[in-house]
């Protein structure tokens, strides 16, 4: 079997074993491609970074003492990317040309992996090697690097491309005795990610760097690529990949919905991010539709009992129809503007355009209809003159003033004028007293105040007799019959109980018969 046949059979066999998303062929002449190796991790597995402490407690790189800065427990790490290309002499005489990239291993560690791939080829000389390389990258990397259940990324968190490189030549390996060259294109071989995480370009598309059979003469292998521009973002990338993989696992497995009590595919369910509770899309959609139609946009909360998590706009847009989302978006904007003290709406019913008040918060100028109005009384702007009370609003303003704190009272006095507010308060208090202590004559509606005496009243204006208790007009010939009639609700109630003196006791009805 010649080399071409061996290469073709190897690729066909690997394509039957692995999915296209992890094993991708990007060219056939020569054969080149990539493998996305997701390393199997023990459980539990931790990622830690440390910082040195100086004598004054400040961070110091030279300090011998150190403390753990952050402690992450992960189930997944971003993949190690193997880019390969078959020379015409593979597998008879030459191993595949390759590049190896990773963002959570140092260049020294990636270099060790490159050397080990070479050693594995030497051990199986003249045989196809890709499956063995893949097996090593997935299952044996941690053991080979003496990483048990904890990965220390302290050195990587201090790394940056600009500080690492000192020359511009791709072939140069003199980089402070540690790194490769200053060409950032090599560091960015994997700058495009499938789903933000799976990275790589076609082998023929590399700029200034190609998969190589040889690693060069420097301390860092030319085929080792650190896919990290700034160590400060490493932890964020690890957390993002962890969340991405957990969601991928969730979507590809069956989940039980606690609303409809049915098993649904994870891809047909939605997770509330803040609480991680999930339900099928059909149940959430039905609930959201009812709430949005009724205008309860702040009630789009998690369906789990006593959970206060709220759905965000992205989640709502994914679940409901575009028409219903437009209503939700409009209501949300309207409610948000209402809660902003410097935002008002044009008081004209046919306009209602939102606008920004002036710096004093007193005047509003509608950009749509050009109406300039007072933000307090909503009437045409009247400058420093006090606002006029609208009909039917006096009681509302009085209640607000009486229940307000000192700052709000001062604001109302500024809006309507101090004298006007004083007069309003006095009038409302007078009206309240009159309402509580007087009644209207049932014949002429004159206001009658009762200070003492019996419940048989005589109107000062029309002379009619009426009952203070039930406001019924009484007979002019004998008004007291109303209190003698046993069928009357005011029977035997001519005098209030508090009016009767205990020292002057009379039998019921006795006074009426005198």
Q: Where are the domains of the chain?
A: 3-40+77-240, 254-338, 386-440, 442-514
Residue 277 scores a pLDDT above 70: yes
465, containing H or E segment: strand 465-467
Q: pLDDT at position 391, please?
A: 57
Considering only 105-119, 201-215, 229-243, which range has the smallest mean pLDDT?
A: 201-215
Considering only 189-198, 327-336, 451-460, which range has the smallest mean pLDDT?
A: 189-198
CB–CB of 74/45 below 8 Å?
yes
Q: What token pair was written down for 181?
A: 């060259």
CB–CB of 227/103 below 8 Å?
yes
What is 254-338's CATH number?
3.30.40.10
Any idea of the CA torsion for 36, 40, 46, 49, to the nearest 10 degrees?
Answer: -40
Peptide bond into 91 cis (omega under 30): yes
In terms of phi and psi (left: phi > 0; alpha: psi -120 to 50; beta: otherwise), the region of 2 is beta
Q: pLDDT at position 499, please?
A: 55
CB–CB of 483/465 below 8 Å?
no
Q: So what CATH class is 3-40+77-240?
A: alpha beta
Residue 187 scores a pLDDT above 90: no
The predicted-structure confidence for 310-321, as pLDDT tens digits, reads as follows 888 888 998 999
What letter does residue 232 receive in the DSSP assignment? G
Q: Which residue has the higher pLDDT, 370 or 67?
A: 370
Residue 410 scores a pLDDT above 70: yes
- The overall longest dimension of the chain from CA atoms, in Å, is 140
406-416 vs 394-403: helix crossing angle, rounded to 10: 150
416, 427, 409: which is closest to 384 by C-alpha? Answer: 416
Q: pLDDT at position 238, please?
A: 92
In terms of phi and psi (left: phi > 0; alpha: psi -120 to 50; beta: otherwise), the region of 327 is alpha
CA distance linking residue 459 with residue 449, whole number of Å: 10
Peptide bond into 225 cis (omega under 30): no
Any idea of the CA torsion for 279, 282, 284, 287, to the nearest 10 degrees?
Answer: -140
Q: pLDDT at position 198, please?
A: 32
Cite the active site residues: 454
CA distance linking residue 173 with residue 420, whole number of Å: 86
Average pLDDT over residues 197-211: 47
CB-neighbour burial class of residue 298 (10 A; exposed 0-12, middle 13-18, buried 19+): exposed
Q: pLDDT at position 163, please?
A: 55
Q: pLDDT at position 68, please?
A: 58
Q: Which residue has the higher pLDDT, 103 or 336?
A: 103
CB under 8 A, 24+ apart: contacts of 301-307: 302/272, 302/275, 302/277, 303/258, 303/259, 303/277, 303/279, 304/258, 304/275, 304/277, 307/272, 307/275, 307/277
Q: pLDDT at position 504, please?
A: 46
CA distance linking residue 373 with residue 365, whole number of Å: 7
Q: Which residue has the higher pLDDT, 418 or 126?
A: 126
Average pLDDT over residues 409-422: 75
27 bridge partner residues: 32
Those residues whose C-beta lies under 8 Å from the C-beta of residue 327, and which sit 6 or more positions away, are 292, 293
Q: pLDDT at position 67, please?
A: 60
CB atoms within 10 A of CB 91: 22
State the pLDDT confidence band at 407, using cuts at 50, 70 and 90.
Answer: confident
Percentage of the chain beyond pLDDT 90 is: 28
Q: pLDDT at position 39, please?
A: 93
18, 20, 25, 212: which is closest to 117 by C-alpha? Answer: 212
State the pLDDT confidence band at 83, using cuts at 50, 70 and 90.
Answer: very high
Residue 173 scores a pLDDT above 90: no
Residue identified by tokens 């993989």 is 245
Average pLDDT over residues 119-126: 89
Max mean pLDDT among 251-260, 328-337, 396-405 falls in 251-260
The predicted-structure confidence for 374-397, as pLDDT tens digits, reads as follows 887 788 888 877 777 665 677 777
The predicted-structure confidence for 150-170, as pLDDT tens digits, reads as follows 999 988 988 876 655 443 333
CB atoms within 10 A of CB 130: 22
319, 321, 380: which is closest to 348 by C-alpha? Answer: 380
Phi/psi at 16 (5° precision): -80, -20
Average pLDDT over residues 185-189: 38
Those residues whose C-beta lies under 8 Å from the C-beta of residue 497, and which sit 6 or more positions away, are none
CA distance linking residue 387 with residue 421, whole number of Å: 10
Average pLDDT over residues 406-415: 78
Q: What is the mean pLDDT of the chain?
A: 80
CB atoms within 10 A of CB 120: 16
- Give the global pTM: 0.57
Beta-strand pair 46-52/150-152: parallel
Percentage of the chain beyond pLDDT 70 is: 82
Considering only 189-193, 282-286, 438-442, 475-479, which range has the smallest mean pLDDT?
A: 189-193
Q: pLDDT at position 506, please?
A: 46
State the pLDDT confidence band at 106, using cuts at 50, 70 and 90.
Answer: very high
Residue 200 scores a pLDDT above 80: no
Q: Which residue has the higher pLDDT, 214 or 396?
A: 214
CA distance linking residue 364 with residue 347, whole number of Å: 10
Q: pLDDT at position 13, please?
A: 94
Range list of β-strands (E), 316-390: 343-345, 354-356, 363-365, 372-374
CB-neighbour burial class of residue 119 (10 A; exposed 0-12, middle 13-18, buried 19+): exposed
Residue 184 scores a pLDDT above 50: no
414, containing H or E segment: helix 406-416
Range list of β-strands (E), 370-446: 372-374, 438-440
């Amino acid at each position: 079997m010649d080399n071409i046949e061996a290469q073709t059979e190897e690729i066909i066999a690997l394509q039957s074993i692995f999915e296209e998303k992890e094993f991708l062929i990007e060219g056939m002449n020569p054969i080149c491609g990539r493998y996305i190796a997701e390393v199997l991790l023990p459980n539990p597995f931790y990622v830690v970074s440390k910082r040195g402490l100086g004598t004054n407690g400040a961070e110091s790189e030279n300090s011998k003492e150190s403390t753990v800065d952050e402690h992450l427990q992960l189930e997944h790490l971003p993949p190690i990317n193997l880019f390969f290309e078959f020379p015409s002499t593979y597998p008879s005489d030459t191993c595949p040309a390759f590049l190896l990239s990773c963002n959570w291993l140092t260049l020294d560690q990636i270099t060790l992996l490159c050397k080990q791939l070479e050693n594995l080829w030497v051990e199986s000389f003249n045989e196809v090697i890709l499956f063995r390389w893949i097996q090593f990258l997935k299952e044996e990397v941690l053991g080979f690097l003496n990483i048990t259940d904890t990965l220390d990324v302290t050195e990587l968190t201090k790394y940056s491309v600009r500080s690492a490189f000192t020359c511009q030549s791709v072939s140069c390996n003199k980089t402070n005795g540690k790194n490769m060259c200053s060409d950032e294109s090599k560091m960015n071989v994997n700058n495009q990610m499938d789903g933000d995480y799976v990275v790589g370009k076609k082998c023929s598309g590399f700029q200034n760097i190609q998969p190589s059979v040889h690693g060069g003469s420097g301390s860092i292998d030319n085929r080792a690529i650190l896919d990290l521009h700034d160590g400060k973002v490493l932890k964020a990338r690890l957390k993002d990949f962890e969340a991405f993989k957990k969601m991928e696992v969730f979507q590809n497995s069956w989940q039980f919905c606690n609303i409809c009590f049915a098993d649904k595919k994870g891809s047909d369910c939605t997770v509330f991010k803040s609480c991680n509770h999930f339900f099928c899309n059909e149940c959430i959609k039905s609930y959201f539709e009812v709430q949005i139609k009724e205008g309860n946009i702040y009630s789009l909360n998690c369906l789990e009992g006593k959970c206060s998590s709220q759905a965000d706009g992205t989640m709502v847009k994914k679940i409901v129809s575009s028409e219903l989302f437009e209503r939700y978006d409009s209501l949300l904007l309207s409610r948000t503007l209402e809660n902003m003290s410097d935002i008002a709406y044009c008081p004209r019913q046919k306009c209602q355009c939102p606008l920004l008040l002036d710096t004093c918060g007193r005047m509003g100028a509608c950009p749509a209809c050009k109406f300039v109005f007072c933000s307090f009384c909503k009437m045409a702007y009247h400058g420093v003159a006090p606002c006029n009370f609208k009909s039917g609003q006096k009681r509302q303003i009085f209640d607000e003033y009486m229940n307000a704190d000192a700052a709000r009272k001062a604001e109302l006095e500024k809006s309507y004028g101090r004298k006007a507010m004083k007069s309003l308060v006095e009038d409302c208090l007078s009206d309240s007293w009159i309402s509580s202590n007087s009644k209207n004559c049932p014949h002429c509606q004159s206001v009658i105040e009762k200070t003492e005496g019996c419940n048989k009243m005589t109107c000062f204006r029309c002379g009619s007799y009426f009952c203070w208790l039930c406001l019924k007009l009484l007979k002019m010939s004998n008004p007291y019959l109303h209190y003698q009639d046993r069928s009357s609700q005011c029977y035997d109630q001519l005098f209030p109980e508090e009016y009767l003196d205990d020292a002057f006791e009379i039998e019921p009805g006795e006074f009426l018969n005198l």
